[in-house]
Structure 1
Amino acid sequence: MKKILVLVFLISSMSYSQILDPVKWSTSIKKVSNLEYDVIIKASIKPKYHLYSLKVPKGGPLPTVFIFEDSEDYELVGKMTEDKGHTAFDPVFELNVKYFENVASFKQRIKLKSKKALKVIGEIEYMTCNEESCVPGYDDFEIAIP
Structure 2
Amino acid sequence: MKKILALIFLITSIGYSQILEPVKWSTSVKKISNLEYDVIINATIKPDYHLYALKVPEGGPLPTVFIFEDNDDYELVGNMTEPKGHTAFDPIFELNIKYFETAAVFKQRIKLKTKKALKITGEIEFMTCNDASCVTGYDDFEIAIK
Q: Same fold (TM over 0.5)?
A: yes
Which residue number corresponds to residue 65 of structure 1?
65
Shift of 1:114: 1.0
Which residue number corresponds to residue 38 of structure 2?
38
Paired AA for residue 49 in structure 2: Y
Which residue number corresponds to residue 136 of structure 1?
136
Unpaired segments ≥5 residues, structure 2: 1-13
Higher relative contact order (CA 8 A, sep 6+): 2
Shift of 1:20: 0.8
1:122 aligns with 2:114: no
- Please give the residue correspondences for 1:1-146 in structure 2 after superposition, counting only pairs within 5 Å: 17-146=17-146
Question: Across the two proteins, how many residue pairs are aligned to each other?
Answer: 133
Q: Percent identity?
A: 80
Shift of 1:19: 3.1
Unpaired segments ≥5 residues, structure 1: 1-12
Shift of 1:68: 0.1
Paired AA for residue 79 in structure 1: N
Paired AA for residue 30 in structure 2: K
Paired AA for residue 115 in structure 1: K
TM-score (norm: length of structure 2): 0.88
Shift of 1:17: 3.8
- Residues 76 and 111 of structure 2 are in contact (CA less than 8 Å); yes or no, is this contact kept in structure 1? yes
**Distance in 1 separating the partners of 2:140 and 2:98:** 23
Q: Secondary structure at the match of 2:72?
A: coil
- Residues 36 and 111 of structure 2 are in contact (CA less than 8 Å); yes or no, is this contact kept in structure 1? yes
Which residue number corresponds to residue 3 of structure 1?
none
Shift of 1:18: 4.1
TM-score (norm: length of structure 1): 0.88
Runs (4 or more) in structure 1 with deviation over 6 Å come to none
**Distance in 1 separating the partners of 2:95 and 2:105:** 23
- Residues 17 and 136 of structure 2 are in contact (CA less than 8 Å); yes or no, is this contact kept in structure 1? no
